[in-house]
A = this chain, B = another copy of it.
Amino acid sequence: MTFPFGVTYYPDQWPKETRDKTFAEIKKAGFNLVRFGEMAWDWIEPQPGKFHFVELDHALDLCAKHGIKVLLGIPTSQVPPWFHRKYKNSRPVAQDGTLYPDYGPRPNVCKDNIYYRKHAENMAKKLVVRYKNHPALFMWQVDNEPVYPPLDHTTSNDYCHCEHSRQAFIAWAKKKHGSLKKLNEVWGTKFWTNTFSSFEDITTPKAGIWEAVSPHIFLDWFRFKTDSIKDWVSHLAKIVKQIDPHHKVGTNGFIGICTRVPEHDLIPENLDWYGLDVYPTGNQMQESDYAFALDFWRSFTRGTRAEFHITELQGGQNVRWGKPAYVEGPEMKKWTKMALEHGAKCLLFHAWRPPLFGAETGGFGILQQDGSSTKRLEAVKEIAKKIENRKSLVVGRRSKIAIAYLRSSEVQSYQEQGPPRSIAGQWETVRTDIGLLHTILSIQGAYRALYKRNQSIDFIFERDLDSGTLPYKVIILPNAYLLSKKQYNHLKKWVENGGTLITDARFGLKDENGHLYKHPLIEDLLGVKYEYTIPIPEGFLDRLKGKPKKLQIITKKLDQGKVCYANFSLFLELKKSNPKWIKVLARLVSLPSKC
């Protein structure tokens, strides 16, 4: 089969009479795939229950005519304005009670909303029934960037707190913890008289970041939202597959604003592909940052049935968010080459033509706004020629080094440190001495340091530590603040069997629920006595009994393996590109047996 190489193009946003010519041009550019539909609920169901397929038929038929396949989006990410007229109390709710906008920003509906789910399911069924046998259909996309939380211009913190979410959160907590007694214990509700005496007492954790909310509830709140999104994606995929078992189903996501959103590693069992949306100049990425994104996403799909796709690769000037940086053209060739080298099985640019209206006016177009050619189009044509012979480009590989991303530690670090907060005239900010992105900056720091040395890198996640399947020579484990006993035992055994573990401050201070261990796991691992941790300008410093207070790396042989433990936030230092520590890491990694 040809390598699926495509582009986004929204036929609903352009005059009907221009479509034939446009698809012809897309084909001529060398694309074999086009993506649309995922934001077009109003186009397909302009009034509740009144479906309008003429236009979509027309677009798909034209694609078939021109020999282009379609990645067809099922548009459930945003609801049309009629939804909010029909269901008055369905705007997403911020943690402080503010209602998010009913149109404009996205998403404008909570995925836990049962009325939304009903209409979305119906949309999925209708669309799949109609187009499952269409010759142009290549695969399905459900939702669009489902991890994206509702945002308004003042809020940057959290997910929807509506009554639907509250009920779903209660049900989730009931299922997870079984009894109120257990739930209260895990959530540490005895602190400040928060014991729930009925499941009905439970509300979503408000003011969730800084001011004294239980860190344990906050962890579960983020886990609930992850599960809720994952289940919803799975549910949509199941609906699609029941009607059409023959086409692949997937969805997409992005990296960034990581701490504000639940686990991006949310691939349900029935998903066939998981696509990365990536905007290198919009996000001001260095080459290593872009490689990081590719390896991170590839690692998400590792061990799942889902293929690693690039669903949106920046095709033109960025607008609306991030940096409005331009794309000249030639850089697109390098981006494509790297994507394939890192394992992408499908690649689409975003987008064919810059929209002339809307919130992203003028953005992302391969073509000029008047439809004329650009150096970007020339680049696409060159890519198209090479990509047919894709085998030569794709490098199959298995890394010997893994960097672990521990989501629970990230969430907990964020919750404890909170967003910068000023209390008028008293404190400028609270605990900004530490910083907010402990884990993400740490793993980026480690990745950058190793990327320069051409190391091949996998990312691993809590699921890997849980399973204990760790086929690596070296594991880099930053900010392992929360670590379950099970995860720890797997790690320790892996070291004893010959692994080299490189880790840093706060190793195993807390369990998976954010409760302090009486004896931090580092004590068992190194045979030391932990005293306390203090913040230092860059991160944290652990104090061990009898050891000097200064920054140091302690190494210890464990049977056939070795632990290298920095008593400070080593990987945050790497993010700053501190050459001293880059050199140290390189040494630890390249010479594991002498570490």
Contacts and interface: CB of A to CB of B under 8 A. Distances in A.
Interface of A: 10, 12-13, 39-43, 46-47, 75, 78-82, 84-85, 96-106, 151-154, 156-157, 188-198, 200-203, 205-217, 256-257, 259-260, 317, 320-326, 354-362, 368-371, 414, 416, 418-427, 430-431, 433, 435-437, 509-510, 513-519, 531-532, 534-535
Given A194-B80, A516-B354, A152 B206 contact: yes
Given A321-B430, A370-B519, 10 more contacts: A96-B99, A97-B98, A105-B213, A151-B207, A152-B207, A153-B421, A322-B430, A361-B510, A362-B509, A420-B424
Contacts of A414: 425
A534 B155 CA distance: 28
A136 B513 CA distance: 36
A257 B424 CA distance: 8
B104 A205 contact: yes
A383 to B, nearest CB: 21
A435 B425 contact: yes
A42 to B, nearest CB: 4
Contacts of A419: 153, 424-425
B153 A207 contact: yes
Contact of A99 (B97, B317, B418): B97
Contacts of A85: 198, 200-201
Contact of A211 (B10, B82, B152, B424): B152
A240 B321 CA distance: 50
B361 A514 contact: yes
Contacts of A81: 194-197, 201-203
B193 A358 contact: no
14 contacts: A42-B197, A46-B197, A47-B197, A80-B197, A104-B192, A104-B194, A104-B213, A105-B207, A153-B421, A188-B361, A214-B359, A317-B534, A356-B516, A362-B509
Contacts of A423: 156, 257, 260
A419 B423 CA distance: 9
B153 A195 contact: no
Contacts of A157: 424
A360 B518 contact: no
B359 A324 contact: no
A325 to B, nearest CB: 7
A157 B531 CA distance: 38
Contact of A193 (B42, B99, B193, B212): B42
Contact of A212 (B104, B205, B217): B104
A31 B201 CA distance: 39
A532 B513 CA distance: 52
Contacts of A79: 193
A180 B79 CA distance: 18
A518 B367 CA distance: 11
Contacts of A156: 421-424
B106 A212 contact: yes
B96 A152 contact: yes
Contact of A532 (B82, B317, B426): B317
Given A195-B46, A201-B85, A211-B151, A516 B361 contact: yes
Given A357-B515, A361-B215, A516-B369, A80 B195 contact: yes
